A and B are shown apart, each in its own frame.
Chain A
Amino acid sequence: MLRLDIDERRPPRNGSCECRHSFRPRHLVECWLRLGRKPTEVSEMLRLFIFSCFSFAVIAGAAHASADVLVDVEIHEDMPNDAPWTFARGPTTKYAQAAFAWNALPKKYLRGGIIGDRSNPFTLRATARINFPTGEYDLLLRSKDLARLLVDGEVVIEQPKRLSKNADGHEVTPNLLPAVRPNHRPPPPGHQEFTLKHPLGGTHEIVLEAVVGGKGLRADLGDLCVAVAGPNEELFRILSPDRLESFPLTDEAWAAWSGRANAHVHQLDTEHRRKAASADDEYWQKRHQQARHHYEDQPHVVVPAVESQDQLANPIDRFVAVRLEEKSLRAAPLGSDMEFLRRVTLDTVGVVPTLSEIERFTTDPPSDRREQLIDRLLGDPRWADHWVSYWQDVFAENPNILKASLNNTGPFRWWIYESFFDNKPMDRFATDLILMQGSKYSGGPAGFGMATQNDVPEANKALILSKAFLAANLYCARCHDSPTNDYTQKQLFSMAAMLRREALALPQTSTVELEGVGREPLIQVSLKPGMQILPHWPLDELGSDELLAGVLRNASDPREWLAAIVTAPSNERFANVTVNRIWHRYAGRGLVDPIDDWHDATPSHPELLNYLSRELVTHDYDIKHIARLILTSQTYQRQVLAEDTDQRHLGERWFASATRRRMSAEQVFDSLFSVAGKKVHAERLTMDPEGRRPINSFLNLGIPRRAWQFSSLSNERDRPALSLPVAQSANDLLKAYGWREARQDAVSVRDETITPLQPLVLAHGTIGRRLVGLSDDHAVTELCLHDVSLDELVDTLFLSFFTRRPSDYERKVTTEFLDSGYQDRVVAGAVAIKDAHAWQRHPVSWSNHLHPKSSEIMLRIENRAREADLPTARLQQDWRERMEDILWALVNNPEFMFIP
């Protein structure tokens, strides 16, 4: 039987459905229709469902209609410039989808599953056989660039105009194009639309061909679609061989479809990437086999015996117990089930548990529920989202959407995400990064290799890699020998030369003049400018290059050497540092601190560190294995104690009790939006939505959905025409909680100093307002419109926000405040506001941003953005305002911010 969420009429928050078909949006649609919901309601519910899935990966098997009702899509590369429609070579990418509509294309993957670049331009060709009842039809073709539509081999519509480059930004701001008919989705700026009346009847072969990109242009697809309106039909529908997939060309339907389409592309990417990666699978299997055998000849790490052994099945707990006994410290009790649920959900997937997740957990049998939860969470695709921000900081991922300059990198965040989505083994992950291959600007690890305006980018990367994987801090050695540890500039530059794959000359700009300083210098400079430094592994105490020749795929590549030296099981540092990082992430303090600089540090539990390292090495460098070990331990699950005593502080150091942690900026942001059930509606992160600038100076980072997808907005020029107001408001909130907008340097632990201005950003800033304002798309608005008791409503709120039920006092305060007017809260006959985000539509792009009208338009939009979202008309105003006040108190309650 269909099992929906708490209330049968609301869509499931995470798509749980125990029907045989397993959940698919199309299936959900059918179920809801069968339950008697109207089609317009269904599209609304589908939208809510899609949005509350949040990470666009969740929907497996999305939109796969059966084989003979699909559109076949081919991507062809390297077409001759003057003959874009010659398809002799054959496609480099082939896939199928449900309809003639695109807002994104699957990526190209190189060997190893690394994101690569297609030729620029490339051509798309989509084919389907579609049956039409006889009649006169209106056909519509919308595209950004050269495109044409063929019916039975004959060109019927052509978009002949080639997109032109624009460098100077001085074009006249165009007007927004009107929609082809009332209530239709208008073409976005930079797009063209052509319609044609054409008779059809019976089965026809429909082909769409479109050119994407070109010289000096970024290969952005934009909106591409073919739509059709039958005789006497008001609405154009997107063309599809499957009638059910043919949705109306309206904003609402396009938005609903976008979620499905993104999920489908995500699934295609996963398939293509894993296929491309499989070419190297054998090599890595061999490496891991060697790793498993590595410790065979060595003495095992003995898990100690302790008195209370029977209750301490997890080896971690025994190692910790030994120390606690030594120091006469008593372990704190375990946190409650709900505290555990909240903590582990935040720690694994980066958001607070949803209502249905809470229900699932509490209805699981008590003896198993924690383990089952851990298993579910470790299999959850949002695991990947939660790791991206961590590595963005550690690797200093620092893309710039406008003319990379200030020590910028490419947007290799996408590679990080995919690595964790695939649960890539850590040695393979580190190797990918060190090899720096693939696409620079579209998200491959080659983006890591960039450091714009840096005189020796490789030296910077060597610094970052040393800190990230070896906890060796060579920062000072960037310009001179380090005064605080033993690393010399020559060592850093030897590693840099390995990354460059050739000898490096030390530039003048990377050294320090010691003449005439006027005091005894604190530093030594042993290298002279112009000196050649050869590629050479410099850190013998941390790893050796012996015995590795058999392990290398390409022994003549210094980067392969570097990767192999760092990750070889014989060099224990990498495994030690990795497990320590994972430990620190969940425990709030490392077994070794600081986690990225072990120069002066001693491990608190050296045997435990060894044990976990060996577990990593002998289990294919799988960090989920380590995570499982840690999360299932009592050590991880202990309470945080509050008393301000020496005993407590000492105890925390030895893990007698858990260390207090505050949510990261990303967790705050993503959790609040999850609870509110809203989309951020941020702008597409680009200064050139038209796609008329080259990718090496103008990136397009897409529409951000989770916090890690946001980026610096690069408005050093202070130009209103370049502002992205909604994204800016999101950045403001993220920054207030420690997110770094630009990451010029590598950081492993963020500065979370709190000043009075920071919580104010949430309390009064634009995003804060949107999170508590009861707009039509707010989950709490939906909740309030339902026929539930006030008690139940209050319960649901506290569960959503704090993963617990309210105390008696809290219930009293809240229900007393909301009681008056509760029975009459719903305004009969009121409807949801349509097109609530139409104001965000504008024609400003780089090509016209220096025209005065563009500044005027964006200033108006900035003003409108400050007004947040319109409140729903469906709730009585006075009661709604009181409900919003309650929400404000819940959102700004410090309890939300701290991990229990």
Chain B
Amino acid sequence: MPANRRDFMKYVGGTAIGSQLLEPAGASARESNAPALQGTADNCIFIWLGGGACQLDTWDPKVRGDAKTKQPGSYYDSIPTAVQDVQVCEHLHRTAQLLDRCAILRTVHHDVIDEHAAAVNRLHTGRPTSGTTIYPSLGSITSHQLGPGEQSIPPYVVMGYPNLTRGPGFLGPEASFLYLTDTTAGPSGLMLPPDVNAFRQRRREGLLTKLQSNFLSKSEGDQKIDAYAKALEAGLKMTRSKFMSVFDLDKEPAARREAYGGEFGQRCLLARRLTGVGVRFVEVAFNLNFLNGTGWDTHNEGQLQQHLMIDELDRAFANLILDLEREKRLDRTLLVIATEFGRPAEFDGRGGRSHQCRAFSIVLAGGGLKSGQAIGQTDELSKQILERPISVPDMHATIYAAMRINPNEELYDGDRPVPITDHGEPVGELFG
């Protein structure tokens, strides 16, 4: 008999009736628990600014500094926004006008200071590494709890490099992601090779059906082989399904594609399309490092062309908000702009900045949250948190609550219960 929930899922999953019974893991919790703090999001687009985006140069600007004279402060001027008393960097001018749809969390913090990999891991899994439990990422948990919006759609997509921090940990391969690093090429494994058109693919699959028939009929009754053959069939079917057209960005009007901008913008556009057909969680990495060499990790000379990155981000994000509003699903889509840490007000020897994890900004939008506010206050150089600190587990709890996942849920690593966040509390000011 199945000993726990996971066994139960595997148990029923194997039968025809079982697969109809298969509900996503947290569904019952969603309905019955219904805590007061709840958003209305069905999907999440998680924009990842890898490298540590400087909050002073984006969402939490302070007094203007000067890299040449080593005067600490923001590198750019700031501008007013659609939210009273809230200013952002001048290069975020499009988003500034739409800031009433957003909420800036200015006091996110953690203690993983120096190392990118460890900080990236902390932001994605919400916990330090332990060596005994491999914690799942935000995306894996979300897709595991909610399942895909539609049958046979992969629930979790990453546009960036596959790495451990984005992975499913103890939730297993079913909570893993599909990834792509280029929107024109699409996800590896899903797209047909350029030299294999639909006709040739049909031909191949026809041959496969014939040549595997002998083996499959001889092994009828073997569950392992059966599961594999079914998975193969389901995968090939997915590549022929309507779902694949989601990757065809040429279906978008040229004007809209241009409005979104370069590759990052196209990724946001694709994310919009993916969430539109039921993909739960899309992580969109902004790693077009050829713009300034360093990406958001603006040490030294990386600082010089940072505004190009901010401009690309602004353009894509603003269009994403407007598009989702146009499709009337901004309330059902949670947008997050996250990064692994911020950067200090001081400039380094060659005009850039180092890392700062004790205070940085995360932006949320949509998802039915109470937007049009900036939560938490940092000091005059964004060095210390003055009020309302928000831990990374709090940030995760907020995202789960927005997506109507119970932030007090317990996951299971074998027999061991693992709370869905490490004592995180959703930011109450964003709900109700």
Contact = CB atoms under 8 A, between A and B. Distances in A.
A852 B176 CA distance: 31
Contacts of B83: none
Interface string B206-229: 011011101110111111110111
Interface string A467-491: 0000000011011000010000000
A643 interface: yes
Interface stretch (B29-37, B154-162, B394-402): B154-162
Interface string A866-900: 11100100000000010001101110111101100
Given A751-B173, A852-B289, A642 B218 contact: yes
B204 A889 contact: yes
A862 B181 contact: yes
Contact of B203 (A460, A854, A885): A885
Nearest to A747: B134
Nearest to A729: B188
A755 B232 contact: no
Contacts of B115: 403, 405
B7 interface: no
B386 interface: no
Contacts of B288: 720, 855
A855 B290 contact: yes
A822 interface: no
Contacts of B259: none
A764 B239 contact: yes
Contacts of A406: 117-118, 121, 129, 164
A763 B225 contact: no
A889 B293 contact: no
B173 A753 contact: yes
A658 to B, nearest CB: 12
Contact of B225 (A475, A714, A751, A898): A898
Contact of B232 (A712, A731, A759, A868): A759
Contacts of B28: none
Nearest to B238: A756
Interface string B173-217: 110101001100100111111110000100110011011101110
B227 A720 contact: no
Interface string A716-729: 11111101000011
B121 A866 contact: no
B113 interface: no
Contact of B228 (A451, A484, A720, A759): A759
Interface in B222-250: 222-225, 227-229, 231-232, 234-236, 238-239
A813 interface: yes
Contact of A463 (B48, B50, B132, B287): B132
B290 A732 contact: no
B278 to A, nearest CB: 15
B50 A718 contact: yes
A765 interface: yes
Contacts of A723: 161, 181
Contact of B174 (A644, A714, A755, A895): A755
Nearest to B117: A716
Contacts of A755: 173-174, 176, 231
B294 interface: yes
A871 B193 CA distance: 13
B227 A718 contact: no
Contacts of A453: 118, 128-129
A764 B208 CA distance: 14
B4 to A, nearest CB: 12
A168 B300 contact: yes
Interface in A587-626: none
Contacts of A853: 290
Contacts, number: 259
B290 A859 contact: yes
Nearest to A893: B212
Interface string A771-808: 00000000000000000000000000000000000010
B231 A895 contact: no
B293 A756 contact: no
Contacts of B293: 170, 850-852, 854-855
A203 interface: no
Contacts of B302: 170, 850
Interface stretch (A56-64, A377-385, A552-560, A737-745): A737-745
Nearest to B348: A168
Interface residues on B, range: 35 or more
B160 A718 contact: yes
Contact of A168 (B133, B212, B299): B299
Contact of B190 (A644, A760, A898): A760
Given A757-B189, A807-B214, A717 B228 contact: no
Contacts of A764: 188-193, 239
Nearest to B220: A642
A880 B229 CA distance: 27
Interface in B325-376: 350
Contacts of A731: 162
Interface residues on A, range: 35 or more
A712 B193 contact: no
A660 interface: yes
B229 A644 contact: no
Interface string A395-430: 010001011011100000000000000000000000
B191 A753 contact: no
A12 B203 CA distance: 34
B311 interface: no
Interface string B377-418: 000000000000000000000000000000000000001110
A168 B288 CA distance: 19
A856 to B, nearest CB: 5
Contacts of B193: 764, 769, 868
B204 A717 contact: no
B161 A760 contact: no
Nearest to B161: A715
Contacts of A897: 228
Contacts of A405: 115, 117-118
Given A744-B131, A807-B214, A852-B293, A732 B189 contact: yes
B120 interface: yes
Interface in A501-549: 522
B172 interface: yes
Q: For B131, B164, B236, which residue has the most chain A Cβ atoms within 10 angstroms? A: B131
B117 A885 contact: no
A662 interface: yes
A295 interface: no
B174 A719 contact: no
B193 to A, nearest CB: 5
B291 interface: yes
Contact of A644 (B121, B222, B415, B417): B222
A728 to B, nearest CB: 8
B212 A895 contact: yes
Interface in A139-167: none
Given A405-B118, A760-B239, A866-B185, A850 B173 contact: no
Interface in B135-179: 152, 154, 160-165, 172-174, 176, 178
B51 interface: yes
A502 to B, nearest CB: 21
A424 to B, nearest CB: 27
Q: For B173, B220, B221, which residue has the most chain A Cβ atoms within 10 angstroms? A: B173
Contact of B224 (A400, A454, A660): A660
Given A717-B295, A718-B50, 14 more contacts: A400-B117, A406-B129, A642-B219, A648-B221, A716-B163, A716-B165, A755-B231, A758-B231, A759-B228, A855-B290, A859-B290, A885-B204, A889-B210, A893-B212
Interface of B: 48, 50-51, 115-118, 120-121, 128-134, 152, 154, 160-165, 172-174, 176, 178, 181-182, 185, 188-195, 200, 203-204, 207-208, 210-212, 214-216, 218-225, 227-229, 231-232, 234-236, 238-239, 285, 287-295, 297, 299-302, 305, 350, 415-417
User: Which 7 interchain pairs have the tightest Cβ spacing?
Assistant: A644-B221, A855-B290, A718-B50, A756-B235, A756-B234, A895-B215, A889-B207
